[in-house]
Amino acid sequence: MNLVLIDDDLLVTTALKTILGTDPELHVSATGSSGKEAVCLYERLRPDILLMDIRMKETDGLTAAQTILAEHPEAKILLLTTFSDDEYIVRALKIGARGYLLKQDYDRLIPAIKAVYNGQTVFGTEVTEKLPRLLRSTPEPDLCEYHISEKELEIIKGVAEGLSNREIAESLYLSEGTVRNYLSSILAKLELRDRTQLAIFYLTHG
């Protein structure tokens, strides 16, 4: 069972590597320290499981997970974090992560990894308690499910106000062409066809 570990803190990755090394079934193929690396390593090594921290400088773990899952929906990604932040949990679920564990649950980490390997989804104790309530309160698909940067969001808002590309460009001090480029990639990400569909999407699901 091949693993890739991603954590900001070198101490954590090495510690984890040691802990996991005690189990003969587990093999840590590589470690990394940023979301970007996670994407690269996943592409290159196709590990059975990707164990990743959420809070990291540079690209955060959730976004990286999203990138990977967009390409490989079958990827088994286990998110690891110190805090049990509600928003993170929900988002992790929505994008299709296979697990969300608190670092304090480290004694259950190995069983959890094996469970995920067998196709299950695993959540830490605290998370499990919160889950039903969280799901009840957020039934709608959200904008934050996609990788939308701050600037992209500004552009979306402009579109949803009925502005033209030129007007959006002026209001954000960009060139019209740049706005077009941003818009183009936004549409691709959201799988929409034109600005009108985008405006509708934003007004109804945003």
Partner DNA sequence: AAAATCAAATGACATTTGTCATCTGCCGCG
Partner DNA sequence: CGCGGCAGATGACAAATGTCATTTGATTTT
Q: Which residues are CB-neighbours of 54 under 8 A, at least 6 positions away?
A: 60, 61, 62, 79, 80, 81, 88, 92
Interface of this chain with DNA, residues 19 to 48, rule: CB under 7 A: 36
Binding mask 141-170 for DNA (x = CB under 7 A): --------x-x------------xxx----
Give me the least distance between CB of 95 and a copy of itself, in Å please: 24
Which tokens hold the place of 45?
A: 């090594």
Structural contact between residues 126 and 157, judged by C-beta atoms closer than 8 angstroms: no
Ordered alpha helix ranges (H), 109-194: 109-117, 125-137, 150-160, 165-172, 176-190
Which position among 128, 164, 181, 184 is part of the footprint of a copy of itself (CB under 8 A)? 164
Site for a copy of itself contains 104 (CB under 8 A): no
User: Which 8-state DSSP code applies to residue 48?
Assistant: S
* CB of 105 or CB of 154, closer to a copy of itself: 154
Site for a copy of itself contains 200 (CB under 8 A): yes
Tell me the window of 46-54, 99-107, 108-116, 161-169 that interacts with a copy of itself (CB under 8 A): 161-169
Site for DNA contains 65 (CB under 7 A): no
Tell me the window of 79-87, 143-151, 158-166, 180-188 that interacts with a copy of itself (CB under 8 A): 158-166
Q: Which residues are CB-neighbours of 15 under 8 A, at least 6 positions away?
A: none
Q: Quote the distance between the C-alpha of residue 13 and its chain's center.
A: 19
Tell me the window of 48-56, 73-81, 126-134, 190-198 that interacts with DNA (CB under 7 A): 190-198
Fill in the amino acid letter for 164: S
What is d(CA 24, CA 22) in angstroms, rounded to the nearest whole number?
A: 6
* CB of 136 or CB of 193, closer to DNA: 193
Which position among 6, 183, 190, 201 is part of the footprint of DNA (CB under 7 A)? 183
User: Which 8-state DSSP code applies to residue 50?
Assistant: E
Binding site residues, DNA, CB under 7 A: 36, 149, 151, 164-166, 173-175, 177-178, 180-181, 183-184, 187-188, 193-196
